[in-house]
Amino acid sequence: MCKTAGDAAGGDGHAHNGHQHHHGKGAAHGHGHPEHGATVRIERDVMDRNDRLAEYTRGWLDGRGVLALNLVSSPGSGKTTLLERTVREFGPDRPLCVIEGDQETDFDTRRIRAAGARAVQINTGVGCHLDAAMVRRALADLDPPAGSVVFIENVGNLVCPALFDLGERAKVVICSVAEGDDKPLKYPHMFRAGRVLLLNKMDLLPYVPFQVERFLENARQVNPGLKVFPVSALHGDGLADWYDWLQQQAAPAQPAAA
Amino acid sequence: MHELGITQEVVALVGEHCQGRQVRRVVLEIGKLSAVLPDAVRFCFDLCAEGTPAAGAELEIVVTPGRGRCRACRREVELDRPFGRCECGSTDLEWLAGDELRVRELELA
């Protein structure tokens, strides 16, 4: 059986009748092999390796009572500003650590350390997202204490990070009003992947053509269960709701419900 | 451009399952809702396969359609993008199919 049943001698067919096939350069097998030219069904999920590692990480974090959140957004939406303020205002209640993902530089790690939290930087080089293996290594370096919260600030990109499970409890999407109210429909995978959304830079609302109602309608079309907190990370408006949510998530024995 | 990393993973999976033999054809299933562009994977494949058992293999991509079920009225809805609206007006759809990203089969030389 050279080929799958039904596939009668393909283009480069070399039926076994007279056994005159050739194998090109040094094919490493002898004759008498039963499945020569065989079609092998493997049915393997391409994300499997990443997802299994992420699952392992989730178990490791749960075992230590550590809450890990994956912060995703486009570049410039205010993730680092949000984290700086969160470190200063929520940090005193609970140990916080940050894993910073950027293509280049350690600017963000320095900002987080200056705000008062431990941080490790991952530079992805040409990579446009973090994956479970990178986060696994960063967590080993970070060694977050029991009961802490780990924020994973993903590479600024509204597309690729949606696909990669890092072992987090939830993805938190940050979107700023300066980006436009049509973003949920333009980047539906990311808005669908998030459990919570912080609509940031609300202080700019008077200056930009952004309709909050339209944004919410678009976001809920993609993700009806999405919880939205309108905030200004720069000035601190609306962040009490974010801290309450963090507190609920981080509380022991709290099931992962938004 | 996550397709580069994804294609590298496809080639790695092929390498694990090809029993050390050269691969003639790889059948990859990409769901319509999977956020992976078939053309981008195709673009990356030859490059990623170079120097591996998948070098020179034909890449066949099967795009599977998206299908969901309305959580409000239980009706099935076809989806050609990662969101939609049921006839009853609800947008709360459970995905039944279309987010696959799977190496289905290999043809070995």
pLDDT tens sequence across A80-100: 999 999 999 999 889 999 999
The total number of structural domains in chain A stands at 2
* Domain that includes residue B93, residue range: 3-108
Report whether A134 contacts A120 (CB < 8 A). Answer: no
**Residue A233, in any domain of the structure:** yes
- Reported ipTM: 0.90
Contact B35 A163 (CB under 8 A): yes
In this prediction, the residues of chain A whose per-residue pLDDT falls under 50 are 1-34, 253-258
Q: What is the dihedral of CA A120, A121, A127, A130, to 10 degrees?
A: 30
Quote the Cα angle for A60-A47-A257, to 5°: 50
In this prediction, the residues of chain B whose per-residue pLDDT falls under 50 are none
Which chain B residues are Cβ-neighbours of A131 within 8 angstroms?
Answer: 5
Angstrom distance (rounded) from CA B38 to CA A231:
38
**Count of C-beta atoms within a 10 Å radius of residue A256:** 11
Interface contact B36, partner A, CB < 8 A: yes
- Torsion A248-A213-A156-A193 (CA) sign: positive
The pLDDT of residue A47: 95
Report whether A79 contacts A197 (CB < 8 A). Answer: no
The pLDDT of residue A26: 37
Q: What is the mean pLDDT of chain B?
A: 96
Report whether A192 contacts A223 (CB < 8 A). Answer: yes
The pLDDT of residue A253: 45
Q: Among A193, A175, A183, which Cα is nearest to A218's?
A: A183
Contact A29 B6 (CB under 8 A): no
A114 and A238 in a single domain? The answer is yes
Which chain A residues are Cβ-neighbours of B91 within 8 angstroms?
Answer: 220-222, 224
Angstrom distance (rounded) from CA A82 to CA A84:
6
Interface contact B89, partner A, CB < 8 A: no
* Domain that includes residue A73, residue range: 48-250
Angstrom distance (rounded) from CA B44 to CA B6:
9
**Residue A23, in any domain of the structure:** yes
A8 and A100 in a single domain? The answer is no
Helices A132-142 + A48-64 axis angle, to 10: 30
Interface contact B80, partner A, CB < 8 A: no
The total number of structural domains in chain B stands at 1
Q: Give every strand in the sheet of A67-73, ordered side by side.
A: A118-123, A96-102, A149-153, A67-73, A170-176, A196-200, A227-230
* pTM of the predicted structure, to 2 decimals: 0.85
Running DSSP on this structure, what letter comes out for residue B54? Answer: T
The pLDDT of residue A252: 62
The pLDDT of residue A36: 58
A145 and A201 in a single domain? The answer is yes
Angstrom distance (rounded) from CA B39 to CA A168:
30
Angstrom distance (rounded) from CA B52 to CA A177:
47
A178 and A212 in a single domain? The answer is yes
The pLDDT of residue A4: 35
CATH number at residue B11: 3.30.2320.80
Report whether A252 contacts A66 (CB < 8 A). Answer: no
